[in-house]
Structure 1
Amino acid sequence: MDKNTRMDSHQWDSSLDPQISPLFLALQWAHRRSIEVIQPLLVENGLSTAEFDVLATLRNAPAPHDMTPSQIQQEVVITSGGLTKVMLQLEARGLVKRLQLPHDLRVKPVQLTDEGRQKVETAMTAMLGATRAWLRNALDAGEIGQLTTLLSKVVAVPVQANRQTG
């Protein structure tokens, strides 16, 4: 671990809660490290993190891979103004297209184009490869499964329950 991820340099944090503080810091550092692993691959594929997030969200939608802006907003971590900007950039590059619903002219779903699908699949393949190498260098298969199970439990807790103190 480098000096910015050493638990012994954060002893005061552990005094607040000796069990949760180290976990909180480890989660933050793991997130930062995961971004360090994938960021060069996003750049290589000509995508920002937000653009990748929108394309991946659309790719995960059932065929024909379209969603309304409101649906996308619920799935990604970006403001509505930021989402509009990202969608305009993706549309200008031909990675998504806006549709018009004949029965509701107010709603304009966003659809992943073939070029957008290829772009996000190429980026995802590269990012999974880099993440696989990083994680397999640190953990064995059993540990990866255990960590996945534990983090899935953490993510599944509703936000309301997270607001309880104690």
Structure 2
Amino acid sequence: MQQRDTVDEIVEQWTRTRPDLNTEAIGLIGRLRRLNVRVDGALREYFGSCGLDSSEFDVLATLRRSGEPYELNARALLKAAMVTSGAITNRVDRLSAKGLVERNPSPDDRRAVLVRLTPAGKDLIDAALAGHVRNEERILAGLDADERAQLDTLLRKLLIAHGDTEPLLG
């Protein structure tokens, strides 16, 4: 018999109280949401051990994976983070105060600012990334390679169905 999770009980309660509804979606979305809370907690704990929060890690990682010179304009950071411009400004302010990024005027547009990793920021994200990948591997340890591939395919399909197809950089 397959082991039960908390969502099984929730679905059973809805099935009992509203037998007229198909509860399949409640189960799937409920599991995604509950898993998201647990994954966010595990990521937040790891990032905290690096002296960062999730949003700061995201900015540093976005700059690092953009390639040399590890620099992007605010619009590119905004697109990658899917947050408001004020949120990006706050993140960059915090990282700048920590000496992990610097702002430079854009040579192409005097109104624009480029955000660049400092050497300390690059060192920190490079050191943090290896542990981050190990943490993600630990989170996914309950799935074998075939299950991971299947889940990856299904999640990609859902993201595409919901319009998550725009390139982040460029």
TM category (shorter chain) comes to 0.7 to 0.9
Distance in 2 between residues matched to 1:2 and 1:88, nearest whole Å: 45
- What is the aligned counterpart of 2:36 among 31, 34, 56? 31
Task: Say if 2:101 and 2:118, in contact at 8 Å, map to a contact too.
Answer: yes
Task: Say if 1:50 and 1:78, in contact at 8 Å, map to a contact too.
Answer: no
Aligned to 2:78: 73
Give TM-score scaled by structure 2 length: 0.82
Distance in 2 between residues matched to 1:29 and 1:155, nearest whole Å: 18
SS at structure 1 position matched to 2:93: helix
Task: Say if 2:11 and 2:23, in contact at 8 Å, map to a contact too.
Answer: no
Task: Say if 1:100 and 1:109, in contact at 8 Å, map to a contact too.
Answer: yes
Q: 1:106: how far off?
A: 0.6
Structure 1's 13 and 105: CA in aligned 2 closer, same or farther, altered over 3 A? farther
* 2:131 counterpart of 1:156: no
Question: Alignment identity in percent?
Answer: 29
Give TM-score scaled by structure 1 length: 0.83
SS at structure 2 position matched to 1:111: strand
Task: Say if 1:73 and 1:83, in contact at 8 Å, map to a contact too.
Answer: yes
Q: Equivalent residues in 2 for 1:4-153 (5 A)?
A: 5-11=6-12, 16-136=21-141, 138-153=142-157
Q: Which structure is higher in helix share?
A: 1
For structure 2, list consecutive stretches of 5 or more residues without a partner in the other structure.
165-170
- Deviation string, structure 1 residues 32-82 (Cα, Å, up to 9, x no partner): 111122221111101011111111111121321111111111110322112
Task: Say if 2:7 and 2:31, in contact at 8 Å, map to a contact too.
Answer: no
For structure 1, list consecutive stretches of 5 or more residues without a partner in the other structure.
161-166
Structure 1's 101 and 143: CA in aligned 2 closer, same or farther, altered over 3 A? same
Counterpart of 2:104, as a letter, is L
Counterpart of 2:94, as a letter, is Q
Structure 1's 105 and 34: CA in aligned 2 closer, same or farther, altered over 3 A? same
Distance in 1 between residues matched to 2:70 and 2:9, nearest whole Å: 47
Aligned to 1:163: none
Instruction: Report how many residues are paired.
Output: 158
Q: 1:12: how far off?
A: 5.0
